[in-house]
Structure 1
């Protein structure tokens, strides 16, 4: 849902495969090692088409599935606004430039959020979705051995976590191996993502920089959510509704 909405709005274009006329957004740099579960969406769409043909769009399925996955994992619930239509074309170049990357700093990521009408609080809140799920080595192995060409690991990475990750993702190893985004409660939606950052246990560079980038306006927000899960849950629901309303392609469009 996140990777879809940042490109031409929430239109389901991320789901389109390569064809004679389409260059799929699935191949954009931020997506291959981050976006998965396409077959699940296909199965949901097939079941819905069998029950009520032509009614529920793929873009609405992404929005509904996002809410359901968070809720089922113990997180908040929210009212998902519906009525999106599906886009008929993809925007590969837009995905390459518009979707935040795990290798980017806070300034660049915040600019991409601002470009679609979101703010700094939304950056922190929606990053909190990394409290569950998995990430491939390709999304964080830049931190393990030669961070920014220094010849050394990322100094903001907890040394115990570093040793563990170097075993999971050795140099010249498979970039597709996955590991948990949240070390402590990987399958639960909670605020441990933020407490992990406080002990330098953020997996992705873009995660840890929320707290480690000196002077960043994201720091007090991280600190607040780390101590107050209810506040995080309430903010997450609001940010998901905002994100789901980015340039929706509707019948009135």
Structure 2
């Protein structure tokens, strides 16, 4: 199946403060969503394989995701990053912005695309970090957490969490409080043997201009499973993508990057 992405549109610059805080690890891409009008769904169409770094051949290991589209917006509600939406709010149902499971996946019965608690989100991290994560979320302006998880036939486990806050400022505040950025992945994910490091193979293909992304990988030597992790900041929403797979070969890079790209575009 060909790679999924967005139809072109004129990108809307973020406020200056956001630009200063964004990490310049992305390459520019002409892949942003076009707005047809309030209440209209936006399609995510195919792109050439060579437009996405690392995804260039028929046998590159990408997952077969269904055709994607953005949900319709309520009447007179602008999308994040556009004029009239200075707080960069996602007005669409957060659950409808979750990336669906690809073909062949076994969906996690506890993460089927609905709402989850701060405690469930915190369970993705080492036990010592969980109380402070939950406290930060409960004392902040968290509105909802939506999540979906699945396991592929090769054993790769994938979980995606979308956290919506009161504004883009509040989403940034959570990122800063957990030390997520270009020099730190923040709280170590569960089952990691040591610190994650920036994924140097990540080129930022498919990035939506009004978002920022931080992509990490667990270096060798890792334990029974290698962990890959990415955060996407898109207005009032923070996305966490976590993948892991047991075995000496580690967690495949290509489907992980593909998943981050598509989730990024759904939030853009």
One fold, TM greater than 0.5? no
- In the superposition, the TM-score normalised over structure 2's length comes to 0.29
More strand by share: 2
**Which structure is richer in relative contact order (CA contacts within 8 A, separation 6 or more)?**
1
Query: TM-score w.r.t. structure 1 length?
Result: 0.30
